[in-house]
Chains A and B, each alone.
Chain A
Amino acid sequence: EAQVTQNPRYLITVTGKKLTVTCSQNMNHEYMSWYRQDPGLGLRQIYYSMNVEVTDKGDVPEGYKVSRKEKRNFPLILESPSPNQTSLYFCASRTDITLNSPLHFGNGTRLTVT
C-alpha cells in the first residue's frame, strides 16, 4: 500500500532532550516536507526537500533540522526541544514540484514538550 509512515504517533518529552521523528514513504517521491499544525494557524511548513541531499527552509525552520540521505526517508530532528514546539507534526510527500501532484500526508505525530 502506498503510504507515508511517521513514527512515533505520540511523544511526550522534556525541554532540551534531543528527539527524532522519522518519516518514510514508499512511493518513490522526490519531494518531501514537514509541517506543524497549531490551532488557528493551520499547516506551516518547517523544511522541505526536493530530492536526495537537497533540503531547504520553509516558513518556521527555527529549532529544527532535517536530512535527506535516502529518497524514502526524511527525519525531523529537534536538537533541544522547547515547550513552544509542542504541536501536531505531519510529514508529506509528492511526486515532485513541477507536476501538479497532491501531497500525501503521514498520520501525524503529536509532540508535547514539558
Chain B
Amino acid sequence: GQNIDQPTEMTATEGAIVQINCTYQTSGFNGLFWYQQHAGEAPTFLSYNVLDGLEEKGRFSSFLSRSKGYSYLLLKELQMKDSASYLCAVNDYKLSFGAGTTVTVRA
C-alpha cells in the first residue's frame, strides 16, 4: 500500500523561507515529484528527485533521502504568489499523491 504524509497547512511571511516535509512508505519507488496547485487550478510540475540529495531550481529546492523515505521542498524568498497547495507524489507505476500542504504567505 501507499502512505504519503505531509503537513496540512503552513503559514509564513513574505520574504521568508518555508520547508514542506513529505514522508512516504510505498511498495514501489522510482522517484518523487513536487507539484504546485493554486486554488481551483490544475497542479503544475515543480521538481523531480530520483537520487538522494538536493536539487535547486531558482527559489525552489527539493531534497530526497531514499533510505529515510523523506523529502522536502524548500521555498525561499517567499512571494504572495507562492500561496498555494504543494503536493508530493511518489513515482511508482501509477504516481501516488500526498494530500497536499496549503501554504499561506502573509504580507
A positions within 8 Å CB-CB of B: 33, 35, 40-45, 48, 58-59, 90, 94, 97, 100, 102-108
Contact = CB atoms under 8 A, between A and B. Distances in A.
Interface stretch (B10-18, B65-73, B96-104): B96-104
A103 B95 contact: yes
Contact of B94 (A58, A90, A108): A58
Nearest to A48: B94
Contacts of B99: 40-42
Contact of A100 (B30, B42, B87, B93): B30
A112 to B, nearest CB: 14
B84 interface: no
8 contacts: A33-B94, A42-B100, A43-B87, A90-B42, A100-B48, A103-B33, A105-B42, A107-B42
Interface centre among A33, A44, A58, A100 (most CB of B within 10 A): A100
Contacts of B30: 100
Interface string B42-56: 111100101000000
Given A43-B43, A105-B43, A97 B87 contact: no
B97 A97 contact: no
A102 B94 contact: no
Nearest to A105: B42
A43 B42 contact: no
Contacts of A43: 43, 87, 89, 97
Contacts of B87: 42-43
| Leading 6 A-B pairs by shortest Cβ distance | A42-B99, A105-B42, A102-B45, A43-B97, A42-B97, A97-B93
Contacts of A42: 87, 97-100
